Structure 1
Amino acid sequence: MKVNLQLDALRKAYGAGEHSPRDLILALRERAAQLNPRFNMFIHLLSAEELEPYLAALDGASLQSLPLYGVPFAIKDNIDLAGIPTTAACPAFAYVPERSATVVEQLIKLGAVPLGKTNLDQFATGLNGTRSPYGACINSVLEDYPSGGSSAGSPLTVALGLTSFALGTDTAGSGRVPAALNNLVGLKASKGLISTAGVVPACRTLDCVTTFTATAPEASQLLQLLAVQDPRDEYSRGNAGWNLGSAFGRVGRFRFGVPRQQDLEFFGCQEGPALFAAAVERLQALGGEAVTLDLSPFLEAARLLYEGPWVAERYSVVGELARNQPEAVLPVIHAVLAKAPQVSGVDTFRAQYRLQQLKAECDRLLAGLECVLTPTIGRPVTLAELAEEPVLRNAELGYYTNFMNLLDYAAVALPSGFMGNGLPWGVTLFGRAFTDQYLLSLASAYQGLEVPAREARNDRVSVVVCGAHLEGLALNWQLQQRGATLVEATRSSPNYRLYALAGGPVQRPGMVRVARDGVAIALEVWQIPSAALGAFLAEIPAPLGLGKVELEDGRWETGFVCDAYGLEGAQDISEWGGWRAWLNS
C-alpha cells in the first residue's frame, strides 16, 4: 500500500475516509517487518499487541481534536518509550522505562502513534550508522553507503515510506548527517527548545532531540507543537516570541554567509564544489546576498568536541559499563573514550574559556547575517571506506556539524540535489539560537514549497530611520548600544514630506506620508535585536513613533513616523531630500 505520509496529505486522506489509523499503521508495521532484515533500521518494532493501546486511544478521538491524529512516527532507541526497552544500541545497558520521554509523551497526546525504536551508533557516538551490535544501517538509496548516524534508523523509516516523521538526537551532527544522506530535512533546533528529559545523554550539556521529515513545513509544524519548556528538563529553555509558529512564512531579502574557499573541505569529492556553488546560486535567486565568511573560528570550536574535555562528558554515562563489562562496548567506542579518564578539571576550564572566546568571535561574524550556508557533509563515504578507516572517515562526516551545539546555534539540513551515482546531497542553514522558524522558512523556499503569505520573522527587526538615528548622528548610539547593525542606505517611496520639528535640544525630523506632492526621503535600514526593540521604542518621544514606511523598492518596513499634530511650528525641509542633506546645508 503506497500512501503519502506527509503530515498535511495524511490528514487530508484521513478526513476523506481513505484510511483508518488502525489499518494504515498495521499495514506499515508489516511492511517495516519485511524491510528490517535488509536495512536494520528497527531495534524494536512494536507488535500489533503493543500498538493496540495507541490505536484504541484514537477510536474515541476526532481528527479535529488531535493535530497529529494517527500519524506514525519512529523513535531513536536512546529516547524512552514507556514499557519498551531503551538500549542505546548496547544490550548490556538496556532498561525498561516506566515513563516515556517528554517529547514522546507530547507526540502521543497529540495523536501520533509510535511504530518502534530505531537503531543507532552505540551510545549515539558516531556519525555513520554502522557502530551497532544490531547491524549496520544501509543507505535508503544506495546500499554501498551507510544511512549516516548516529540517528541511523530513524531517517530510514521516513525515507522508505514507513513513518511520517522520526525522532533522532544530535550532539555533533547526528540529526543532520543522516538527513543529508537520505534526502530528508533534519531539524536540529536550538538547544533546550525540545525537551531531552527521558533521553540517554551523550553530552548532556549539548544534546538536542531532532526531527526527520520530508519537508521543511512539516518540521515547522512539529517544532511549534514540541517547543514547550519542560520542568523535567533542567536544560529546557522557553521559546522566544519571535520564534513561534507564526514566524514561519515568506522570506524577503536576506544576507547569508558562505565559507571562504580555503575553509571549504570536500575531502577529494569532485562533485561537491559544483553542488555547493549551485546551492549558493539558488539562495541568491531567492533574494539572498552572499557574504564571504571566515569559518576558521567555527572549525576550531568543532575540534574541541573530541580533542577537548567534552569526551569526558560522554564517559560519565558509559565509563562504568566500559570498565566493568568492556566486551559490552564496541571497540571503536572504547577508542573514542580512551583519553577521557585523563581529562582534568584544569583542562576542562581552559577549554571552556577558549570556547567562550570563540563563541564571542563567531557571534560577531553572524551579527549582520540572517544565516550561514554550508555543505552538510564534505563527501559521502562508502561502507567499505568506513570499515577500513572508521575513525578518520567518521571525523570527516562531522567537519561542518561538530561546532553547532558548542556554539549554541540552530541548524536545519535540507536536500539540495543528487550526485552522479544517485546518492542524495544536502546543505545546512544555520543561525543564532531561536531563529529556527526563520531557517525553516528559508528551507521551505529552497525546496520550492508553499508557505503562509505572512513575512517570516527572526531575532532581528528592521527599523527605518530618517533623522537623528542615522549613522554618525546624535542619537545613533541608541541603536548601536542595543547591538543594531546597518543593513542599507536607501530612500522612501516618493510619497512623503520631511519636517524639522520644533523643540530640542536634539533636533528631530518628522516624516509624514502624503497623498500628493510627496518626495523620496533618504533613509537607513538598521536591524535591531528583537529582544531590544521594546526598550528602544520606549525612548521615542511624542509626536514620533514607529509605524510602517514604504521604501523605494515597494517594501514596507517598520520605521519612524510622525503624528500630524507634531507638525505645528515645524519647518518643511522636503526639498533637501533627507535629514543629513538639510543639516549639511
Structure 2
Amino acid sequence: MTTAREAVETCYEHIHTAEHPEVWITLRDRELSLALAESIDVRVRDGAQLPLAGTTVAVKDNIDVAGLSTTAGAPGVRHTPTVSAETVRLLEEAGAIVVGKTNMDQFATGLVGTRTPYGTPASASDPTLVAGGSSSGSALAVALGLVDVALGTDTAGSGRVPAAFNHLVGVKPTLGMLSSAGVYPASPSYDTVSVFARTLHTASTAMQIMTAGAGSRPWERHARLSMSRGRVGTVDEATLELVDAHWRTAYLSTVEALAAAGIETVEVDTAPLLAAAKLLYEGALLAERAYAFGDVLAELGPEADPTVASIVLPARKFAAVDLVRDQQRLVAARATASGALSGLDALLLPTAPGHPSIEEVRADPVGANSRNGMFTNFVNLLDLSALAVPAAGSTPRRPAGVMLVGRAHDDLVLADIAARATLVDAPAPAQLWGAPYRELMVMGAHRSGQPLNHQLVDTGSRLLGTVRTAPTYRMARLGTTPPKPAVWKTGDGGASIVGELWALTPDGLADFLGKLAAPMALTPVTLEDGREVLGFTCEPGALDGAEDITAHGDWVAYLRASHPSDSPDSGPAVPVEDRLRL
C-alpha cells in the first residue's frame, strides 16, 4: 500500500519532470507537503480512518487554502487566508494533501484559459489548443497526471469545458450542494465548486467527502438516486449542425452507447435552452459579476485582463428594471427546462461544439469563448445538475466530451446513466453525496430481476448490495400473485436469509409504501452485522398453510431449485462491502 509520503514524493517528481509551470499560480513547498504527508501516515498507523490518505489535490486559485495565497487570477487581489474553504477543509481532514493553487481565467470569467497573467495553459493533448477555462490549471493538473483530483469552480461551464478538452470527468453539482464558504465569487447566484478527476469513482469519492459539510440548500424532494425512467433526451440534427465534425461523430457514438445499454433516446428541442444561455453574458445578469468583483476590477487598471474588463465593467450601468426583465426571462426558461425534462432522466448534449486553438481565441477572444459555452451556459441559470464525461471514442490524445444534464439534485442519476453506458467507471453504491435516504432490505419479489423490482426502480432507488439477516429468521412461500416469501423473526431454529439492501429517499420510500400490497408490511430487520434496517413482514394469518422454505436461505435460490418458471435472472450481485467503500 502506497503511503501518503510516497504519493507526495511521486506527485512532486511528476510536477518537476512535466515542466508545465503555467499549470500553477502557487505551488506548496515540497518539504511542507511531505511533512503533512508524514503526519497523515502517523495518524493512519495509529488507527485513524482517513479515506483520502495520500490523495493529492490541486485547487483553483479562487478557492482558499490556508497558508497559500489566493489571487482569483489577478496578482493585485492576492491575500493569504488562515482558514481553508469548507470544501478544502473537508478533503484535508479526510487525508488529502493540497499541493498547490492552479491557474485560471481571471475572476473565473472565461471558458478558454487564456485570460491570465500567469502563462497560457494549453490542452494536455495538443499545445496549439486551449485547455479550456476558467479552471484551466485544475483540469491540466489532473490530465497531466500531476495530482489525483482537482477543485475548480463552475458558473458558465468552467468545471465542464476543461474536462471535455482534456478527457476528464467533470462534476458540476447542483447549486448549493457544496459550501461556497471561502470561494471568491464570480456570479454568486450561479457559482459552485466543481471536481475534476480521471475516473468517476475518484470524483465521486471527493463529492462524498465534501457533501459531509453543510451546503446552502436541502435536497429537492423529487430527487432520485438512480435512473428510473430509462429515457434520455438528445439534441436534434439542426443543433448538431452547429457542432464540429469530430465532436458530432463522438456525440452520435455516445447516443449509440446509451442505446446499446438499453437506454431509450428521444430528440428534444433544446433551442429554448440555448437561447436562455445567452442571458448569462448578454444581459443584465452580468450585474452579478459587476457586484462580485467589478470595483476591484476597476481598481486593477492595467493589471486587469482587458477582455474580462470589457465584459464586466459596463455591467455596472444596468438599471434595476433591466435585471428584473432578465430574471423574469429566467423564470420562463426554467419552466421550459422542466417541460423538456418531463418523462426523461436527463438530457445528453455535446459539452462544447468543438475545441478551439489558442490562435483562434486570440483572434476573437469573445466570440470563441461564447461558442465554448453554447451548451453549458444555461445549466446553472436554470438550476440544473450536470456531469461532463468523455464521449464514446474519446481518447486522451484526441478528446471530445459530452454532458448529461438533469434536474436539481439528480446528480446521482447522471452518474448512474454515464456508468450504465460504460462512458465511465461506476462509483461505489454507497457514495450518495449527502442525499437523505433510508435503507430497505428486500428478500423476494422486489429483488433485482424479480417481478416487482420495478416498484423500487421507479422511485429512483439505488441498489447498495447483497446482505444477510442475523441467523434468527425463517422464510415461507406465500400463495400470492406474483409469488412472494414471508420472513419473520423466530426464537429458535432460525437461519440467515439473503436479500438486497436498497437506498430510498424519504419521498421514494413514501411512493414505494403507496404501492405495497397486502399481506406485506414493513418492520425493522436485524442484519448479520447487528444493524437494523427496514424490511418485510406480513399480516397475521398470512402464513396459514404457507410452505416453509427456510432451508434454502434465499428466495431466488429457492425459485431456481423448485420453481424455475418463477425465477427470472436476478442480475449481477453487488457485494455489500461496496456499501462501505469510499
Shared fold (TM-score, shorter chain, > 0.5):
yes
1:513 aligns with 2:483: yes
Give 1:237-252 correspondences, 5 Å limit: 237-239=217-219, 247=225
> Contact 2:208 / 2:431 at 8 angstroms: preserved in 1?
no
Partner residue in 2 for 1:579: none
Is the Cα–Cα contact under 8 Å of residues 189 and 410 in structure 1 kept in the other structure? yes
1:440 aligns with 2:415: yes
For residues 367 and 562 of structure 1, the distance between their equivalents in structure 2, rounded to whole angstroms, comes to: 36
Asked if structure 1 preserves the Cα contact closer than 8 Å seen for 2:121 and 2:130, the reply is: yes
d(CA) in 1 for partners of 2:516 and 2:141?
58
Separation in structure 2 between the aligned mates of residue 101 and residue 400 of structure 1, nearest angstrom: 29
Match of 1:22 in 2: 5
* In 2: Cα distance, 1:497 partner to 1:150 partner: 62
Which blocks of at least 5 consecutive residues in structure 1 are unaligned? 1-12, 15-19, 462-482, 486-494, 499-510, 516-528, 548-560, 569-585
Following superposition, the deviation at residue 48 of structure 1 comes to 2.1
Aligned residue for 1:271, secondary structure, equals: helix
Q: Which of 8, 18, 26 does residue 35 from structure 1 map onto?
A: 18
CA offsets, 1:144-190, max 9 Å, x none? Answer: 10111100001111111111110000000000000011110000011
- 1:266 is aligned to 2:236: no
Looking at structure 1, the residues matched to 512 and 197 of structure 2 have their Cα atoms a distance apart, in angstroms, of 40
In structure 2, how many angstroms separate the alpha carbons of the residues matched to 1:33 and 1:448? 30
Equivalent residue for 2:74, pick from 90, 111, 117: 90
| Alpha-carbon distance in structure 2 between the residues aligned to 1:514 and 1:329 | 69
Would you say the 8 A contact 1:280–1:290 is kept in 2?
Answer: yes
Tell me the equivalent position of 2:254. 279
Given the two structures, how large is their TM-score scaled by the length of structure 2? Answer: 0.74
Structure 1 residue 543: deviation in Å?
4.5
The secondary structure found in structure 2 opposite 1:74 is: strand
- Note the 1:65-464 alignment, pairs <5 A: 65-230=49-214, 236-239=216-219, 247=225, 254-267=230-243, 269-417=244-392, 422-445=397-420, 446-447=422-423, 449=425
In 2, the alpha carbon distance for the partners of 1:421 and 1:77 equals 25
Q: What is the Cα deviation at residue 265 of structure 1?
A: 4.9
- Alpha-carbon distance in structure 1 between the residues aligned to 2:396 and 2:430: 39
SS where residue 400 of structure 2 aligns? strand
Query: Which of 26, 29, 34 is equivalent to 1:47?
Result: 29
Distance 1:77 1:420 in 2: 28
Residues 366 and 143 of structure 1: CA distance in aligned 2, closer, same or farther (over 3 Å): same
CA contact (8 A) 2:200 2:427 kept: no
The code of the aligned residue for 1:335 comes to S
Structure 1 residue 400, shift from structure 2 partner: 0.6
Q: Secondary structure at the match of 2:278?
A: helix
Give the Cα separation in 2 of the matches to 1:241 and 1:532: 6
Q: Structure 1 residues 542 and 160, CA, compared in 2 at 3 Å: closer, same or farther? A: closer
SS of 1:394's equivalent? helix
Against the structure 1 CA distance between its residues 60 and 454, is the aligned structure 2 distance closer, same or farther, given a 3 Å change threshold? Answer: closer
Number of aligned pairs? Answer: 475
Post-superposition CA distance 1:478-526 (Å, at most 9, x none):
xxxxx999xxxxxxxxx9999xxxxxxxxxxxx66379xxxxxxxxxxx
Identity score, percent: 35
The one-letter code matched in structure 2 to 1:24 is A
**TM-score normalized with structure 1 length:** 0.73
Name the residue aligned to 2:474.
none
User: Contact 1:138 / 1:146 at 8 angstroms: preserved in 2?
Assistant: yes
Cα deviation 1:33-69 (Å, max 9, x = unaligned): 4434x46101111112432452242142117610000
Q: How far did residue 92 of structure 1 move?
A: 0.5
TM-aligned CA distance change 1:454 to 1:220, over 3 Å: closer
State yes or no: 1:61 paired with 2:31: no
Q: CA RMSD in A?
A: 3.6
* Post-superposition CA distance 1:425-450 (Å, at most 9, x none): 01111111112122112222323635
Query: Would the aligned equivalents of 1:412 and 1:429 in 2 still touch at CA under 8 Å?
Result: yes
Corresponding letter in the other structure for 1:339: P
